[in-house]
Structure 1
Amino acid sequence: MKLHDERRDYERAQLRRAVLNDDPFKQFADCFSAAKASGLLVDPTAFTLATVSREGQPHQRIVLLKDVDTEGFIFYTNYASQKGQDIEANPQVAMHFAWLPLEQQIRVEGRIEKIDQASSEAYFQSRPRASQLGALASAQSSPIATRDELEARYHQLTEEYEGQPVPMPKTWGGYRIKPSLFEFWQGGKFRLHDRFIYRLQEDTSWLIERLQP
């Protein structure tokens, strides 16, 4: 594959220190609101979650952001999955939002922890019933012979719980990523991209620095 000429310049916007919020959570909220309002993103909540296994092997996958509070970023998954096993071994993780139509990226690094069960239960019960049944049917990341086997399990559970609440799987719930670093990236002309990094300090303030591209 010859990809040398697959390039374009970035001229959509610029990022300047004067317009940045001193609080990275508020800066993220501003960026997210603008990204969503642009209408150019199909899944603005989608981000790449990077984890590292006990053996030191990095893994990445796309998950969906479901909430942001004053402590961090929340998503939901199966705790027994590959990502759950990685997190159990190493709670240091990274997030990456790639908003390519806007020529923007946001990176977040931090420590991850489970949220309380009551909050996980409340969110699970708010999901569409089909999603609840799908979570119950799948032992995420475990091998399975065929799709037919998986769908048969789904239909079996559909019949089993007809007219009843679907129970939250014991291995399912939420995680909160508590950031220690943010990076906001805006593509720039001549590959002179704008990059600003926020680093959490011991006094809980945030140090903001411009990085060279």
Structure 2
Amino acid sequence: MTGFPDFLVERTRFDAAIDRNWSCRDKCKVWWKDASGDDGSWWDGRIVAVKPKSYEFPGSPWERYTVQYRSEPKEPQLHSPWELFDADTQWEQPHIDSNIRDNLLSAFAKLEKSSHKAQDQYAVNKLKQVSQKSNFTNRYPVPLSFDIIQSRLENNYYRSLEAVQHDIQVMLLNAESYFGRNAELLSKLRRLSDFFMRTLSSLQPP
């Protein structure tokens, strides 16, 4: 035992799967990865039995459902409810509101544009440069950078505005620690912090 989980199930997916309350003879589909692990396909099947995998844990959903597939594999397979899907399953990957996301990306674009000016008043260019240095990335447990946060926004990584705020705070704390003896850069970082605080506050629900 390593003390670390083998995998994680997204909470909203877990809740939706449990609420679905699958029963015997329900049709379902399961996503099976191909040999490369990079892609896969949906396999159609039917639940032929519902029982706990171990009677030591009668309430556990782990591999509680036995599924018989239409074709291969011929042998019934054990599945957990979060592996099963059907047309009635309502589940959407949680993410921040698209308008909030767009406003944040607009703010990041504004900051990036400002970094092209000679004074780089928010130290964005300096943050980008230092994020490429090993003595910065190896110094902090979570070396978040301007580009990483921007990329996460572009790819709908964030589930809440609080998560965005957390990453920004970590980025700024790391930078303040790294540039601790540079008064000019610390002043610019405080200006950047104020900018983010105003932006995030304006996006909070009333």
What TM-score bracket applies, with the shorter chain setting the length?
Answer: under 0.3
Which structure: greater helix fraction? 2
| RCO higher in structure (CA 8 A, sep ≥6) | 1
Q: Under a length normalisation based on structure 2, what TM-score does the superposition of the two structures give?
A: 0.23
Which structure: greater strand fraction? 1
Larger Rg: 2
